[in-house]
Amino acid sequence: MAEVLLLHHACGLTDGVRAFADRLRDAGHTVHAPDLFEGRRFDTVEAGVAHAQEIGFDTVTARGRAAADGLSDGFVPIGFSLGVVPAQMLAQTHPGVGAAVLVHSCLPVGEFGEAWPDGVPVQVHGMDRDPWFVDEGDIQAAEALVASTAGAELFLYPGDAHLFADSSLPSYDESAAALVLQRVLALLGRVG
């Protein structure tokens, strides 16, 4: 079984993020879901992003890095939207990462190095009409990652919701979220 570090989105460590962690635990995986906002939750992505800007994206990333301290070799960072920043940073810079999952977002590989590390599979999940994913360049970053990296997969779901995998938010899409979970569990089964 895999050890997972699940990093939440800009609305905070919501009940939906906790539920996703529980689904992974139910499948036998060890899951850590730190609160990068120290108890703060937000009703909108915009409010959460404003908070992240206020405390500093470097602070959010540093908290994600600190949460990885002491995890076993082969751990898998999973990021939801804003949580992709520390998840992708860990995948590209932390030795011993087994795989990575980037949900709702993807940064250009050049943010954290020149190339994705060899032997580290990665999944990217996003909606094909999500303005945050499509209009902000994340889809292009994901396509470039897949084109340049063996073991990289991009999964696009029909729709325009951003945080579609969080069951506690109005943007939740049950069928898309079920596919995300199924695909993540398949990846964890290969690396765990």
- CATH code, domain with 10: 3.40.50.1820
pLDDT, averaged per 10 consecutive residues of the chain (192 residues), comes to: 96 97 98 94 89 88 93 96 96 94 97 92 98 96 96 97 96 98 97 81
Q: How many domains does the chain have?
A: 1
Of 34, 32, 30, the C-alpha closest to 3 is 30
Q: What is the pLDDT of residue 96?
A: 86
Distance CA 108, CA 89 (A): 11
**Parent domain of 97:** 3-191
How far is residue 43 from each of residues 21, 52, 87, 124, measured CA to CA in Å? 20, 14, 23, 25
> Is the model's pTM score more than 0.85?
yes
Q: What is the pLDDT of residue 137?
A: 95
Query: Reduced to 3 states, what is the DSSP secondary structure of residue 37?
Result: coil
